[in-house]
Structure 1
Amino acid sequence: MAANLVKFDELGKLPRTVQLQRLDEGQGVEATMVAHQAKWHKTCMLKYNNTMLRRAEKRLIASSSAFGSTDNVPGKRARTHSSEATTSDTSCFFCGKSGTETLHEVATFQVDTRVRKCAAQVGDNELMARLSMGDMVALEAKYHSKCLLALYYRAKTTVEAEQKTDHEGVMSRIVLAELVLYIEETHLEEGTAPVFRLADLAKLYTTRMEQLGVALCKKVNSTRLKERLLAQLPGLRSQSKGRDVLLAFDEDIGEALGKACEQDCDTEAVHLARAAQIVHRYMFEDTGRFRGSFPGGCQEDSVPNVLVAMVNMVLDGPSIKNQSHSSSTQAALSIAQLLKFNSVKQSRKQGATKTQEPPSVRHSSSQETPLPTYVGLMLHAETRKRGLVDKLFSLGLSISYDRVLRLSAQMGNSVCQLYRIEQVVCPPTLRSNVFTLPEASKTCYELVSCGCKKGCRKRCKCKNASLQCTGLCFCEGECQ
């Protein structure tokens, strides 16, 4: 390997990056490489083996014979690869700038041929004029790598765009013909006066183009599509309605205007459905559950603001003046609470039964609002009648009787738990300014305050008449 490197250096075939003098420390190249345990890649070694050396010598002899003698050939000739950087001040063949970027010299005719082809594809007249002076190898043209790659990319993009444009143009004419036939067939149907929205036609056009394999990079120009349709259908007329453009035939305009009034009801139904959909989306927000009491503002916090606003608009009118001068009334809050209490995400399917009864509503505890809870608890406290509570429950005005019992049990358990924590019992009949003893006698022996209201004059028929009756006294017999 060392001997081959020396011979390659004598022939001037070593690249500039390899400086053989630095590999010789005075005892020869081979000794230096052995001393430093030099290593190399197999592919790099193949460039300087015996076969490559013989070929280099043959090329040198052949080139010397072509010039007549070998005396004029220098011992060392510096050669550079076509892709190797040069330090010449020559400007770039494409951009005309030198700058500080690396310049490369054209060394093959393949580059010249491809550059000419790309220049013709992109239509660069200035570049074609420079190429007319001769081939790039003879001109010793130099270039920046990014300039050459930019030319290749422009040519590739131009060719793809032309192919795409040709294919898109053919498909566009086919889709337009199908769209014209669709309009004519719809017009010929009996009992119809069709009115076409330009936006819908443009959507059909786009969908059909995509089905045919044409990827549209931008939105279809609706105005141009309208002009193409009007040119193909002489009887078609365009009318503007707000932001929409409507297309109709001359003989169908009168009939279409007559049907416009009939379609108003359908439009209103669609608006109602959309409003209900918006409100229904906010119905199932978790606003808290009953905790044993009704704090201030619990009614407003239990229903979404969107629902209350909708109920207010229904009750007072949607005018902004009416809404700005009135706050949420109790009626609006009550209706909103009942709506949320009876709302379901998805209605239950009614099974096949002989009696057509309305499907029962299963109320979730997260949907309970203060109003139906208060009504159920109040009725149970006043009447203790299960039938009355369940009747209002079936009407959607109250919680069920079973739910009332569960809430009562929960409140009782909470009170008992509090008593156990604080270790204090407070009876519900406790009154202020009344002294009580730890254990009250049933025969008035230890009672000190008279509570009799029957005119006994602080006397009663007790075993110990010196003591007085109270409301806690369980005396036997009536007071005298």
Structure 2
Amino acid sequence: MDRSAFSFCSVLWLDRGRGSKMDMPSSSGRQTDWTKCCLCQQDKKEDLKSPVTNPTKREADGYSNIATNIPQFHSINALPIMLDPVRLDEGGGIDVTLRRNNAKYHQSCRLLFSNSKLQRAIKRMKSAFDIEETQRKRQKTAPHPTSSECFLCDKEVPGSALKATTMQVNDRINDCAKIMRDGKLIVKLGAEDVLAQEMKYHPTCLTALYNRERAHLNTQEYEKNSDLVTGNEVYPAAFSELVTYITETRASSERTEPVVFKLADLLTLYQQRLEQLGVESPNVNSTRLKEQLLSHVPQLEARHEGQDLLLIFKDDLGSVLVQANKYGEALHLAKAAGIVRREMVAHNSKFESRFHAGNVEDAIPPSLLQFVCNIEHGSDIKSQLTNDASKSDIAIAQLLQYNCFGKYMDGGQHHRYSKDHETPFAVYVGLLVFAKTRKRKLIDILHENGICISYERVLEISAQLGDAALTRYEEDAVVCPSLLRKGLFTTSAMGNIDHDPTATTANTSFHDSNISIFQHPSIANTGEECEPFGGRDEGEESES
């Protein structure tokens, strides 16, 4: 062991009040059984060792190591096991007693008293001693605020200033310092309480401290609960519908008895709506949902009735609804229209010369369809659960998207429709009317009212489909309808078409042949659909 460690151990030994001798009792209440381990006095599976049986004779053997280190462990109160050193000294010292009784020990027990273990124990004790001395010096030299200064603002206080006289004030001030992590205030408080330091303060400074603590806690609570209505777009949409359902239910009630909502029912509606909007297994905290509802609907208050938590409107809600500001509703409508229009202008969907299931979903932004559904069926959460998006909702949304222009020409009576905003419904109506009537005037009227594409665009799409059909016929080397399926047993029948009118004003007749094709699918073989025709667009915009 080095000289500094031994010096520190000696200091601790002397500090125990026994001069240079080890602090040991004069007699021991327990005798040593020398047939067992002299250190632990326990029976273990481990073999007992003895330096006497060791053929290698060393000057410092296990006996001398134990006799030297045990008193030092005892002096610093760091014995690794329960051991009374007195029972190892029968006169003449520990080393003589061990050799006289041919003492044995477990190797694991002896290693607990090794030199390295002793040095580590002394080092730990010395570190703790230094820390204690440092703290003692700091407490002696720490500056205390003078009795004429406020310990919060460091300004002089008048004779009427208050002094901390209760432990409640002391605890509250310490809590404020820890919650806000105010290092300057924590240093001022130090190890003693404000009563012992006789600290004075301005009443306004103490009130300001409490206000800062409350604002800090409110900020933390807001950040904690803000994830309920942030993140995914569907969460704010479903939450707004839930709030609308609550307010509209109250507005449409007869007011003869209070409108009461169970938090469990509202939570179920909210989760069902989130699932309908595409959120898989939504995990909504009921307490956070309650706090958000109380925050967005200040007229609500929460009441416990048994195990149920009820949300009830306050009595003055009726007057609040009657005195609602109409200008506020107009502003809300303008904001909603602006949000939807911004997404409509940014959304692009081009007709690919064929209709398929993904056309409708890709042609309109989800917010537009949601807005139309709210207008058609109601914006509350129950209406949205009961009524899904219908064909009329989808058609109206597509027409709105088709007639949405990013820019309008000043004074222009006609607008240029972009092919990037052509919706399947507008294209389908134009092609259907052309196929049924072949009347340009009817198509132009519908186009002027924004219901279908223009007559020129109808002809363009028809020409593209015709070119695609001819290309397919040339590739397949056969002319057949595109609806035929591959891999099916197919039969055909031929017949004549004769039209010989008997009217006196008729001057022509018609004679031709026709071919009828029949396919025979089965449950096991339904055939394979042919790849649909794909046209090509020659321009980006069409002018009406």
Verify same fold: TM over 0.5. no
The TM-score bracket by the shorter chain reads 0.3 to 0.5
Higher relative contact order (CA 8 A, sep 6+): 2
When the two structures are superposed, what TM-score results if normalisation uses the length of structure 1?
0.36
From the two aligned structures, give the one with the greater strand fraction: 2
Larger gyration radius, structure 1 or structure 2 = 1
When the two structures are superposed, what TM-score results if normalisation uses the length of structure 2?
0.33
